[in-house]
Structure 1
Amino acid sequence: MRAASLAFVVAACFAGGAAAQDLGTTCNLASTYDLTVRPEGLAFDRADVAPRSVRMHDGNLTTDGSAVSLRPDEQDRVALFESQVRTLLPKVKALASDGVDIAARAVRQEAATAAPGAASSGELDQALNSRVADIKRRIAASQSTKDWQEDAMREYAQEIVSDIMPILTQDVGGEAMQLAMNGDLQGAAALRDRVAGVSNGAQERVAAKVTAALRPRVQALCPQVRQLGELQSGLHDASGRPLVLLESGN
């Protein structure tokens, strides 16, 4: 049956949609670092290419465990960089959380078109709402960008699939089986075509809804993101190399 295919597309929709309005893409600045915001400072980490570890707090800068000597004006810029990041964090988390909500509603619409019985029974809503609430709690509690970037959204999507897959399989499979047992092979075939029709293009439709809803809010944050790029200009790591926490997409 095509319920498994539908569930896979639901996962792709959720992951793609929730990550569609990425600050880096929209504002033309991105980072190769994972950022963790702690009370004791900002922590930037990546697996390769030095500096692998960058720490900022109260105008102090450390790279790969070595303190960087800073002029007073550079200390001011480091302090302002940290302050700006702390101001941006709740706004970015709110975008991720709202993106999850929007994507989930759109996914429900797609799934309900192919499996109306599951939607009308309330099982689909219950499973989806419970999982979405859990994901949003994790995003709210998180202090690391790793928890709301695209890879994380894909993991969240797989959790949703594990919840809704049995519901979709039971609904679509049961309906098709009943049609076939009643001799309505044409109806069973039409059901398969309906599910396939929902699956085709579903990811693009969900992503488009999230993008349209969040674009103005993402664009509104771009000046603050670009200011971070300006603040890092001229800063160096402990070895004298330019410090590039944010990179232009050009």
Structure 2
Amino acid sequence: MHFPRFAAASMLLLSAAPLSAQDLATTCHATSSYDVTLNADSVVFDRATPAPSRVEIQRGLLRTDGVTVRLNAENQDRMTLFERDLRALAPRVRAVAQNGVDMAVQAVRAEASSMHLSAATRAELDQRLSDHARELKQRIAASRSTHDWNGDAINQYANQIAGDLMPLIASDMGQQAIDAALNGDLQAASALRDQAAGLATQIQPRLLRRMQALRPQIQSLCPSIEALSELQEGVRTSTGQPLDLIQTKQ
């Protein structure tokens, strides 16, 4: 998806929400074909295909596609620990994601400071970024399912943020171009128009480089994810398949 002008900012805010699968795959070499939901009394993994499409873990009990799996004592303990450790990991993931939102906002503000925006535009931009960051962090805190961060939901929210930020930045840069033209500086006017037109492609790599500072925090989650992967080893579904909720590759 390509957004014009300053829409890269909205994607950077959302890149922190709650740690995309790409972040974990790249940093922790961890992937899953499932979405996961933390209910009050159970943990549910679900996907469209292949079977099993629904795996439920509840205090040492395991159900796959509605069928209770007969587990020996060791595997019951494994599932109990898996659920406990997954629940313990969730607030840590949220904390890193919220730190990522703060970092993204700082990166956007730093980039905006080089655009020579008017004082009024800078103040308005700062307020809007703060509002979006606060809302996004609230959504992260309330989220209990990866379904909240799937493609359509992310894209819709990104479009909302972009729709709020883009006109503000475009208007200011457009006014700068007009002022330059009125002052007879046609070269500056042309450069400003080119900068506005290519802003998304210019700013996104710089913002992403700034966000690399979040990587150590993501790395701190990797041992716990690896431990979850190890806990599922040897456990099988009701049809005899390996459970395979999380895949890790070192």
Distance in 1 between residues matched to 2:53 and 2:123, nearest whole Å: 48
Distance in 2 between residues matched to 1:44 and 1:208, nearest whole Å: 33
- The more displaced of 144-153 and 57-66 is 144-153
> What is residue 187 of structure 1 aligned with on the other side?
188
Distance in 2 between residues matched to 1:118 and 1:161, nearest whole Å: 21
> What is residue 92 of structure 2 aligned with on the other side?
91
Distance in 1 between residues matched to 2:238 and 2:244, nearest whole Å: 13
Query: How does 1:33-72 map onto structure 2 within 5 Å?
Result: 33-72=34-73
- Aligned partner of residue 208 in structure 2, secondary structure: helix
- The more displaced of 41-50 and 106-115 is 106-115
Q: Closer, same or farther in 2 for the Cα pair 1:56/1:172, shift >3 Å?
A: same
The residue type equivalent to 1:172 in the other structure is M
- Amino-acid identity (%): 43
Query: How does 1:110-121 map onto structure 2 within 5 Å?
Result: 110-114=111-115, 116-117=117-118, 121=122
- The more displaced of 104-113 and 194-203 is 194-203
How far did 1:12 drift? 4.0
Q: For the Cα contact (< 8 Å) 2:174–2:193, is it kept in 1?
A: no
- The more displaced of 227-236 and 117-126 is 117-126
Aligned-residue Cα RMSD (Å) equals 2.4
Q: Closer, same or farther in 2 for the Cα pair 1:220/1:149, shift >3 Å?
A: farther
Distance in 2 between residues matched to 1:61 and 1:182, nearest whole Å: 73
The residue type equivalent to 1:114 in the other structure is M
Q: For the Cα contact (< 8 Å) 2:180–2:188, is it kept in 1?
A: yes
> What is residue 82 of structure 1 aligned with on the other side?
83
Q: Closer, same or farther in 2 for the Cα pair 1:95/1:163, shift >3 Å?
A: same
The residue type equivalent to 1:83 in the other structure is R
- Aligned partner of residue 116 in structure 1, secondary structure: coil
How far did 1:149 drift? 6.4
How far did 1:203 drift? 1.7
- The alignment covers a number of residue pairs equal to 246
Q: Closer, same or farther in 2 for the Cα pair 1:67/1:16, shift >3 Å?
A: same
> What is residue 235 of structure 2 aligned with on the other side?
235
- Aligned partner of residue 43 in structure 2, secondary structure: strand
Q: For the Cα contact (< 8 Å) 1:17–1:207, is it kept in 2?
A: no
Q: Closer, same or farther in 2 for the Cα pair 1:132/1:112, shift >3 Å?
A: same
TM-score (norm 2): 0.88
TM-score (norm 1): 0.88
> What is residue 216 of structure 1 aligned with on the other side?
216
How far did 1:71 drift? 0.6
Deviation track 1:95-137 (CA, whole Å, cap 9, x = no partner) reads: 1111112112212222342352267640001111111101110
> What is residue 167 of structure 2 aligned with on the other side?
166
Structure having the higher helix fraction is 1
- The more displaced of 187-196 and 122-131 is 187-196
Q: For the Cα contact (< 8 Å) 1:6–1:111, is it kept in 2?
A: no
Name stretches of at least 5 consecutive residues in structure 1 with no aligned partner: none
Distance in 2 between residues matched to 1:163 and 1:118, nearest whole Å: 18
- The more displaced of 231-240 and 22-31 is 22-31
Distance in 2 between residues matched to 1:120 and 1:165, nearest whole Å: 12
Q: For the Cα contact (< 8 Å) 1:115–1:171, is it kept in 2?
A: no
- Aligned partner of residue 22 in structure 1, secondary structure: helix
1:11 lines up with 2:6 in the alignment: no
Q: Closer, same or farther in 2 for the Cα pair 1:119/1:78, shift >3 Å?
A: farther
Q: Closer, same or farther in 2 for the Cα pair 1:121/1:219, shift >3 Å?
A: closer
